[in-house]
Amino acid sequence: QQQVKQSPQSLIVQKGGISIINCAYENTAFDYFPWYQQFPGKGPALLIAIRPDVSEKKEGRFTISFNKSAKQFSLHIMDSQPGDSATYFCAARDPSGAGSYQLTFGKGTKLSVIP
């Protein structure tokens, strides 16, 4: 059972445009939602994260929007640049159960920003 569904699988955006990646979840116990950025052949790096008590968090050109009632959250990349071309993963943390505090990852979105 996939607990975090991420879409789209791939995304092509023109330089200067807005990139939007969406994630949906079912487990209402999730209490922390990070986004990771991964370049080819490298390990993922934390980009930005949000907790469910806020609806939006912005860091530079990156914004997370969080809709608790819809159980959805999204990453917006403003003024997208070719250097943003990477694979992005959303994740969620479950503080309950035997595997407490594990992160569950979405399947990833490959973003290509074209000049």
Partner 1 sequence: DGGITQSPKYLFRKEGQNVTLSCEQNLNHDAMYWYRQDPGQGLRLIYYSQIVNDFQKGDIAEGYSVSREKKESFPLTVTSAQKNPTAFYLCASSIGQVPTEQYFGPGTRLTVT
Size of the site for partner 1 (CB under 8 A): 24
Binding segment (CB under 8 A) for partner 1, from list 16-24, 36-44, 63-71, 73-81: 36-44
Tokens of 85: 């071309």
Binding segment (CB under 8 A) for partner 1, from list 16-24, 57-65, 70-78, 92-100: 92-100
Q: Say how many CA atoms lie within 13 Å of 102 toward its Cβ.
A: 9
Smaller CB separation from partner 1, 82 or 95: 95
Cα(95)–Cα(6) distance, rounded to whole angstroms? Answer: 21
- How do beta strands 62-67 and 56-59 pair? antiparallel
Tokens of 14: 């023109």
Asked whether the beta carbons of 101 and 95 are under 8 A apart, the reply is yes
In the set 45, 54, 78, 114, which binds partner 1 (CB under 8 A)?
A: 45
- 29 is a contact residue toward partner 1 (CB under 8 A): no
The site for partner 1 (CB under 8 A) is made up of: 6, 9, 32, 34, 36, 41-46, 49, 89, 93, 95, 98-99, 101-103, 105-108
